[in-house]
Amino acid sequence: MKTVTSIKQFRQIRKTLGTSKLGFVPTMGALHQGHISLLERSVGECDVTVLSIFLNPTQFNNPDDLKTYPITLQEDLEKAAQAGVDVVLLPEYDEIYSDNFRFQVNENNFSKQLCGAHRDGHFTGVLTIVMKLLNIVKAEKAYFGEKDYQQFQLIKDMADAFFIDAEIVGCETIREADGLAMSSRNTHLKDEARALAPVLHRLISEEASDDTVAHQLKGYGFEVDYIKTIAGRRYAAAILGQVRLIDNIRLRQ
């Protein structure tokens, strides 16, 4: 497994791959089994798999959230090697944002709803960094988890709108045994909150109205940002302790 920090060096490596089918998994690090499932799918479907680890500050609307985001680089590299990753890209901030974030990718509809209504500028940061990384890596397939389905849909739509060659592949949400969607931020849950957290997935999976689910969650002590169904998918975001949890499910017809 090769590890590179220079975009120029990565592009040199990319030229040597020729017609190899390349899969790409962009992450912010703190890899868990959800990330590993994306890497394993890429390894299974592509000739070469690239993992990027870049803690992207432009998508954090809360500076404290950025400060407390877990950093586990050595463990991440070990997990990547075990999963069969070929190249790990660890770009530097000054190279990624040599324009000082002067150029941005904005979406003016879906990104203003759900998480976008509560996290000002979040999706601008997400779409901008993903656009940059897709242009650097030039993968045939890029893999994203469906836990943040709004993010996945926005990235997929962006790739279509800008004629990006990479196929944006959505992968099933990986859950703990008790149903909690895996997330790097779950490590911040204290014991009592961690025991309660699976209630979010359980309640949004029930055949009840969005308002009913929100009311029930508040009764358990969640601070609800939203419970909203759009096009047959129920989206949820709620704060438990100091941790913001998101989830979504496809509702039964």
Distance CA 32, CA 111 (A): 26
Are the CB atoms for 197 and 180 separated by under 8 Å? yes
Distance CA 30, CA 95 (A): 22
Distance CA 181, CA 173 (A): 7
Q: Is 118 a catalytic residue?
A: no
The predicted-structure confidence for 42-101, as pLDDT tens digits, reads as follows: 999 999 999 999 999 999 999 999 999 999 999 999 999 999 999 999 999 999 999 999
Domains of the chain: 2-171 (3.40.50.620), 184-250 (3.30.1300.10)
| Residue among 35, 122, 188, 215 flagged as catalytic | 35
Task: Name the amino acid, one letter, at 189.
Answer: L
Q: Residue 18 pLDDT > 90, yes or no?
A: no
Q: The whole model's pTM is what?
A: 0.96
The predicted-structure confidence for 143-156, as pLDDT tens digits, reads as follows: 999 999 999 999 99
The predicted-structure confidence for 218-234, as pLDDT tens digits, reads as follows: 999 999 999 999 999 99
First to last CA, the chain: 45
